[in-house]
A and B are shown apart, each in its own frame.
Chain A
Amino acid sequence: MKKPIFFTIIFFLIAGYNSKIVAQELTAKEIVKKANDKMRGITSYTEMDMKVIRPKWERSLSFKMWSKNPDYSLLYVTYPAKEKGQVFLKREKEMWNWIPSIQRMIKIPPSMMMQSWMGSDVTNDDLVKESSIVADYDHSIIGEETIEGYLCYKILLIPHEDSPVVWGKIITWVAKNEFITLKNEYYDEDDFLINSENLSNIKNVGDRTIPTYFEIVPAEKEGQKTTMEFKKIKFNIDIDDSFFSIQNMKKIR
């Protein structure tokens, strides 16, 4: 059997992206909540290009995705040619993969959802454990810094002692006037920086202004990063639960 290429992970990436940081302290919480809400809608439609960049090579993946938080997503691969037309459906805890070339619907077991794509720098724990990060961290404002011309709150996230979190801490920067997250730094338990996440290309996408370009850069690996660019994003689109169906998987394009 051919392994479905791990776009599976992307469901978590996008569906869960926004719940990344929730503050406990009231002011930090308000700031982060506002930043979160910016990237969040009950429903959304996204067209995204994702790139894994290594010193000697580069691979791309593009897809369209429809989401209805928190339970439903449908993802249609548009690039590369070899994978084009593959569809992934997530309904609550179940996932399916439709492979049109062999007209086969495959039910994806949980173990297969843990894969990353092309060894991208987006780790499984980042993605799958998103929701626990919400509950598992303490948050506090530790300063103000300017990033890309935006004056930002600098907020520290420390995981609770008994929480199953891989990071030792996370630092996030949120623009003061726009409430846009511009940067996240992920540290291990020994306080070494592992990944930096830079958000840029801030655009008005219709009903709000958000960053549309994400870059995840591993600290110790030169020439290596993973980028994600929203080519199109629409929030709060009119979409019914029944859109996320086996029937529609075979029809969508």
Chain B
Amino acid sequence: MRKLSAITTYILLIITHLSLFSQEKQKNWSLNGYISNMQTVLFSHPDSNWINDNLIHNRLNFKWYPNDYLSFTLEIRNRFIWGDNVKYIPGYANYINNYDGFSFLSKNLIKKQSFLFNSTVDRVILDFSKGNWNISLGRQRINWGRTFVWNPNDIFNSYSFFDFDYVEKPGSDALRIQYYTGVTSSVELVTKIDSAQKITAAGLIHLNVLNYDLQILAGLMNETDLVYGAGWEGNIKGFGFRGEFSYFQQKEKVANSTNQFLMSVSLDYTFNNSLFVQAEALYDEKPINLNNNLASQSFITTPLGAKNLGFSKHSWFAQISYPFNPLFNATVSFIYYPDLKGYFTGPSFSYSLTDNLDFSVFTQFFSINTGQSSRTNMYIGFLRIKYSF
């Protein structure tokens, strides 16, 4: 606890101190972020018990540029949560505090029967950049994904598509070395360590050929799987056309060998009237077995690894987004899981109140087949007001 507040105090000191000297010349630091309040309600049937939660979510992004070659990044995510989950779900506080990395960077600063205050440093990066080289060390997001929903190439991260309130996604404790071989091409090597002290290490080659961004990667994931993959981004007749695939090969042969191939392909198009449509498909050779476990929110919030993306051998995603007027945008997403005879649908609406203030309504509805003739449903609704600074 002391550690975190010390950091915060330090930031404030730097800011107030530096602001005295920052004049015409470009500042060598920046601070931005957001604060939002989000109310959540969850139920399996409108007549059943409603589970209510509230989240005040604050993010602070601090950057410091001591000289032309070095930069330092510190980003903190603060969450104040109260409601039924905190009260009634055993281990909820631990679940919130859980981070796949060095544990001392996240802490439940206050943990009471009905509320919880968690602070997590999810980025802390020292970055060195000179000539064509770029080296960064620390907790950082290494995003190798090329599509938008399922990312078999995103082997350094795990996240859930449904966790829309955390767009930054968790960082990895990693060392990343990049060398830019040209204006649109590069090679990189990355290694990270997770909370179980397992190493993931991989290399990626990034090229631009015939107006396509291409990447090829190979490495070792969590010390258990060799991974080979590739991805692309380009366009066909104005459509965005993206895709990625990975093959995971278990390093040591065991009884239940889980060699696995995953691939996602996505198309998107924006019409002249700003209507935006997008579709994505996932093939997962060995999908996660849900064990009819939908009711335990894990389906939605559990971060997924690059190897565990599908709940069904094939998954289909579609999304339509349309600004009814420049301030008001509506989006509907849909996912179909054939093996579960299940689907997800998520209409959402956002309204821009000012340049920096947005009001949004998100809904998520899940329905899967959980037996011969029974279905499990879950409805979640979110109201969010968010101020960015």
User: Which residues of A line the B interface, CB within 8 A?
Assistant: 1-3, 52, 54, 57, 59-60, 79-82, 84-85, 91, 93-94, 101-112, 114-116, 118-119, 124, 241-242, 244-247, 250-251, 253
Contacts and interface: CB of A to CB of B under 8 A. Distances in A.
Interface of B is mostly: strand
Contact of A101 (B140, B167, B184): B167
Contacts of B142: 103
B32 A84 contact: yes
Contact of B355 (A1, A79, A253): A79
A80 B386 CA distance: 13
B104 interface: no
B186 A103 contact: no
A80 B389 CA distance: 8
Interface stretch (B80-88, B94-102, B289-297, B321-329): B321-329
Contact of B327 (A57, A106, A245): A57
B238 A59 contact: no
Contacts of B356: 80-82
Contact of B241 (A80, A94, A109, A112): A109
27 contacts: A2-B167, A52-B326, A59-B326, A79-B355, A81-B388, A82-B388, A101-B61, A101-B167, A101-B168, A102-B143, A102-B168, A104-B143, A104-B145, A107-B233, A107-B240, A109-B240, A111-B269, A111-B270, A111-B271, A118-B326, A119-B323, A241-B183, A245-B180, A245-B183, A246-B183, A246-B185, A250-B134
Given A3-B276, A119-B325, A247 B134 contact: yes
Choose among B270, B325, B352, B356 the residue with the greatest number of A CB atoms under 10 Å from its CB.
B270
Contacts of A91: 183-184
A2 to B, nearest CB: 8
A77 B160 CA distance: 28
Given A101-B167, A109-B240, A245-B184, 9 more contacts: A1-B278, A81-B32, A84-B32, A94-B208, A102-B141, A104-B143, A107-B213, A111-B239, A247-B134
Nearest to A243: B183
Contacts of B34: 81-82
Contacts of A107: 213, 233-235, 240, 242
B286 interface: no
Contacts of A241: 183
Interface string B101-143: 0000000000000000000000000000100101000001111
A156 to B, nearest CB: 28
Enumerate the 7 nearest inter-chain pairs by beta-carbon distance, A residue then B residue, closest first. Answer: A109-B240, A119-B326, A245-B183, A107-B233, A109-B235, A1-B148, A81-B388
Interface of B: 26, 30, 32, 34, 61, 65, 129, 132, 134, 140-143, 145, 148, 167-169, 180, 182-186, 208, 211, 213, 233-235, 238-242, 268-272, 274, 276, 278, 319, 321, 323, 325-327, 352, 355-356, 358, 388-389
Contacts of A253: 26, 30, 65
A79 B234 CA distance: 29
Contacts of B32: 81, 84-85
A109 B239 contact: yes
A54 B328 CA distance: 14
B233 A102 contact: no
Contact of A115 (B26, B140, B274): B274
A111 B26 contact: no
A103 B172 CA distance: 12
Contacts of A84: 32
A95 to B, nearest CB: 10
Nearest to A72: B183
Nearest to B234: A107
Nearest to B169: A102
A3 B129 contact: no
A204 B102 CA distance: 56
B378 to A, nearest CB: 24
Nearest to A248: B183
A246 B132 CA distance: 11
A126 to B, nearest CB: 13
B270 A114 contact: yes
A3 B326 CA distance: 13
B220 to A, nearest CB: 22
B238 to A, nearest CB: 4
A89 to B, nearest CB: 9
A50 to B, nearest CB: 12
A244 B180 CA distance: 13
A246 B180 CA distance: 9
Contacts of B274: 115-116
A3 B167 contact: no
A84 B27 CA distance: 15
A2 B329 CA distance: 11
A187 B176 CA distance: 55
Nearest to A80: B355
A116 B134 CA distance: 35
A111 B325 contact: no
Contact of A93 (B211, B319, B352): B211
A168 B191 CA distance: 60
Contacts of A2: 167
Contact of B270 (A81, A102, A112): A112
A60 B168 contact: no
A110 B213 CA distance: 15
A96 to B, nearest CB: 8
A87 B351 CA distance: 24
A114 B355 contact: no
Contacts of A101: 61, 167-168
A242 to B, nearest CB: 6
Contacts of B321: 3
Contact of A94 (B140, B167, B211, B388): B211
